[in-house]
């Protein structure tokens, strides 16, 4: 691993720590800047040496130094995930505008994933600016044209809105939240319209396997609602990072 690659990994760890702040504070309507990091239980400010990504969690054994409250495993999971994605993106794009832009895109998807898992919501404060950023990025990034971005936005959001409308008319209840519609619109704006069918396919397969498995383990069956946002996010990330082998596999085994 080169120095630059190591830096990309360490940068991801630091960004992951910030993402944890966003995941915790955005649903509560709190500022993500002030006050400084604090324990979610005793509200004691966390000292800088207790706020080192992953390492502090291991040293403190996942507990607050002040009150002993148990800190969620989410914190190191988010930090390590962001570090790995930063490293993979750096390998893929090098130090470039694509690396910076797609790291921001994946970071927003990580925040959306964990907020949706915990609160069953996808905040507009992330998805709507994310749609705008996706359109703007299509002007800057070489791998997507602004027309593809706009079509992706309309096709993604429009198709999900139509599905939600049909489900509502047939079942008389909401089958897909507005957050999912805005999320797929955001993904379409960033990635264009062509990847959307594959992203939705990957998301659906993961939803069936992981979501179905979780329902079986919990014993709640179809009574429990599983958020689809995390699977859409994972589908988009998987396609973005592993586009070439995915397309190679699909072309090798055509329908």
Predicted confidence band of residue 255 (pLDDT cuts 50, 70, 90)? very low
The per-residue pLDDT of the chain, averaged, comes to 88
pLDDT of residue 136: 95
**pLDDT score of 15 more than 90:** yes
**pLDDT score of 254 more than 70:** no
pLDDT digits (tens, 9 = 90+) for 35-71: 788 877 887 888 888 788 999 999 988 888 888 888 8
Q: What is the pTM of this model?
A: 0.90
* Least-confidence region, from 5-9, 15-19, 94-98, 218-222: 218-222
Choice between 57 and 143, residue whose per-residue pLDDT is larger = 57
pLDDT of residue 222: 54
pLDDT of residue 46: 83
**pLDDT score of 208 more than 70:** yes
Kindly write down the DSSP assignment for every residue of 37-80, as one continuous string: -B-TTT-PBPPGGG-STTHHHHHTTTB-TTT-PBPPTHHHHHHH
pLDDT of residue 219: 61
**3-state SS class at 224:** coil
pLDDT of residue 62: 86
Domain extents for the chain?
Answer: 1-95, 96-255
Q: What share of the chain is helix, strand, coil (3-state, %, to 5)?
A: 70, 0, 30
- Output the CA–CA distances (angstroms, integers) from residue 156 to 195, 206, 225, in the order listed: 10, 19, 22
Work out the average pLDDT over 83-97.
Answer: 95
Work out the average pLDDT over 71-93.
Answer: 95
**pLDDT score of 96 more than 70:** yes
Q: What are phi and psi of 38, to 5 degrees?
A: -145, 160
Q: Give the contacts of 20 (CB within 8 A, at least 6 positions apart).
A: 74, 75, 78, 79
pLDDT digits (tens, 9 = 90+) for 170-193: 876 766 778 899 999 999 999 999
């Amino acid at each position: 691993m080169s120095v630059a690659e190591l830096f990309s990994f360490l940068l991801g760890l630091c960004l992951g720590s910030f993402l944890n702040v966003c995941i915790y504070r955005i649903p509560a309507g709190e500022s993500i800047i002030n006050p400084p990091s604090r324990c979610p239980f005793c509200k004691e400010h966390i000292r800088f040496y207790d706020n080192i990504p992953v390492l502090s969690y291991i040293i403190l054994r996942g507990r607050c130094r002040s009150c002993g409250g148990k800190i969620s495993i989410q914190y190191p999971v988010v930090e390590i995930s962001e570090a790995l994605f930063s490293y993979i993106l750096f390998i893929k794009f090098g130090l470039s505008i694509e690396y910076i832009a797609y790291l921001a895109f994946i970071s927003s998807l990580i925040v959306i994933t964990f907020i949706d898992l915990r609160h069953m919501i996808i905040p507009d404060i992330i998805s709507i600016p994310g749609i705008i950023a996706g359109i703007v990025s299509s002007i800057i990034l070489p791998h997507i044209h602004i027309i593809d971005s706009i079509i992706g936005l309309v096709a993604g959001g429009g198709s999900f809105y139509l599905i939600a409308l049909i489900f509502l008319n047939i079942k008389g209840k909401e089958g897909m939240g507005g957050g999912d519609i805005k999320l797929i619109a955001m993904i379409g704006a960033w990635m264009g319209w062509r990847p959307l069918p594959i992203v939705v396919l990957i998301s659906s397969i993961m939803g069936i396997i992981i979501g179905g498995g979780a329902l079986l383990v919990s014993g709640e069956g179809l009574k429990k609602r599983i958020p689809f946002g995390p699977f859409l996010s994972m589908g988009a990330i998987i396609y973005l990072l592993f586009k070439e082998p995915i397309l190679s596999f699909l072309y090798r085994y055509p329908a």
